[in-house]
Amino acid sequence: MLIKRIVIGDGERGLYFRNRRFQSVLMPGVYRRFGPQWRIRVETYGVDELVYQGPHRDVLIERLGNRLSDYFVLADIGVDQVGLVKVDGKLDRVLAPGSQELFWKGGRTIEVDVLAVNDEVQVPTAVARRLRQIGALTSVAVTAEVPAESAGLLIVDGCIVRRLDPGYYAFWNFQGNVAVEVIDLRVQSLEVSGQELLTRDKVSLRVNLAASIRVVDPVAARSRVVRYGDFVYRELQYGLRKAVADKSLDELLGDKASLDADIYAYVRGRVTDLGIEVQGVGVKDVILPGEMRDILNSVVQAEKAAQANVIRRREEANLSPLHPLARTPDP
């Protein structure tokens, strides 16, 4: 039989091939083609699938030329661009940089908006909201929420790009390794416990120290030191050791405020350039070894006994007959 009857239904398109070469796109209808059966082939596609899924995309673009737009919407996305595909005015999907797709023209309206992502990696708020609704946001973007009293740092390929204020953000993950680091700007407490130290007069003791710090420049705190919390902790240790070594035991026990001030001054000078503010430093406990406590207790007891003796002698002197107040008045 030299006549082949071809039927293309509603909602379908046919790709007509003759001698294995593409000839035309067949719209819904009935067609007759003359020639041996083996020379004629028709591939039928449903336009409800939106995207042309066949293997002949490049052939269709080349052979149809200016007539391509009669049957397809071509999305040709550059390497520094992102494609936003809208179906009947609603965002339906995202096309990655460098991608190319053919969308069937049919009963629905297909639009492709192109966004440049070379310099701006942040997803527009409205786009992010819609992608979130259709469950496609996390597949094409890195999302992050920066809480109140915090700051976010946008990091692209290991470099800090900018600081983020509190809020919800989404960034395209096509152009590089994108990450968001959240830094707490609230006051934080650090405790240095059980430090074994020697005073200037070689007395061994243990000291517990507490400090409060706050990050005031998150970019500096993140870029100038690996872990700013660990760095401040070590500087508190060094400052405490230096301050204790410069004082005798009597000075330490007699004036803890000066010890706090010395440690504060040392640490503050070391961390200011790192974007960290030291708000306070205080020695919580000074713990002496058992034998030293016994010696101090003996000293204290001796001092108390001496003071008691002085008071007793004064009282005895006041009651002596030779004391003016102890004389009997004349009749």
| 254-301 pLDDT per residue, tens | 888 888 999 999 999 999 899 999 999 998 888 876 555 545 545 545
Residue 57 one-letter amino acid:
R
Residues 150 and 214 occupy one common structural domain:
no
Upper half-sphere CA count for residue 245 (Cβ side, 13 Å): 9
Percent of all residues in the chain with a pLDDT value above 70, rounded to a whole number: 86
**What pTM was computed for the model?**
0.69
Q: DSSP letter string over 138-181?
A: HHHEEEEEE-TTEEEEEEETTEEEEEE-SEEEEEE-SSS-EEEE
Residues 260 and 312 in one domain: no
Q: Write the DSSP symbol of residue 35.
A: S
Q: Are 236 and 209 members of one domain?
A: yes
**Residue 244, in any domain of the structure:** yes
Separation of alpha carbons 121 and 173, rounded Å = 8
Looking at the structure, do residues 236 and 250 belong to the same domain, yes or no? Answer: yes
Q: Is residue 195 part of a domain?
A: yes
- Tell me how far apart the alpha carbons of residues 158 and 35 are, in angstroms, rounded to a whole number: 64
Calpha distance 252→209 (Å, rounded): 14
Q: Does residue 264 share a domain with residue 193?
A: yes
d(CA 106, CA 135): 25
Phi, psi (rounded to 5 degrees) for 237: -60, -45
* Rounded Cα gap, residues 22 and 323, in angstroms: 136
178 part of a folded domain = yes
Domain of 165, in residue numbers: 143-182
* Domain shared by 301 and 284, yes or no: no
pLDDT in tens, 106-145: 878 999 999 888 767 888 888 888 888 888 888 889 999 9
Final residue in a domain of this structure, among 182, 213, 236:
182
Tell me, yes or no, whether 248 and 301 share the same domain.
no
Asked if the structure places residue 193 within a domain, the reply is: yes
Structural domain includes residue 118: no
β-pair type (167-172, 159-164): unpaired
Q: Assess if residue 202 is contained within a domain.
A: yes
Cβ atoms of residues 152 and 182 within 8 Å: yes
Q: Which two tokens stand for residue 137?
A: 């946001």
Residues 220 and 176 in one domain: no
Same domain, 240 and 297: no
DSSP-assigned states of every residue in 80-112? TEEEEEEETTEEEEEE-TT-EEEEE-SSS-EEE
89: tokens are: 């005015």
Residues 227 and 271 occupy one common structural domain: yes
CATH number at residue 253: 3.30.479.30
Q: Is residue 211 part of a domain?
A: yes
Q: How many CB atoms lie within 10 A of CB 139?
A: 10
Q: Are residues 282 and 192 in the same domain?
A: yes
- Distance between CA atoms of 227 and 250, rounded to whole angstroms? 37
Query: How many separate domains does the chain show?
Result: 3
Strands 81-87 and 90-95: antiparallel
Which of 57, 58, 68, 123 has its CA nearest to residue 94? 123
Domain presence at residue 148: yes
- CA–CA distance, 217 with 275 (Å, rounded to integer): 4
Same domain, 275 and 213: yes
Chain centroid to Cα 146, Å, comes to: 8
Which phi and psi angles does 310 have, rounded to 5°? -60, -45
**Higher-confidence position of 304 and 243:** 243
Q: Encode pLDDT of 151-181 as tens digits.
A: 999 998 888 989 999 999 999 988 778 899 9
- 290-326 pLDDT, tens digit each: 555 545 545 545 555 566 566 666 766 665 555 554 5
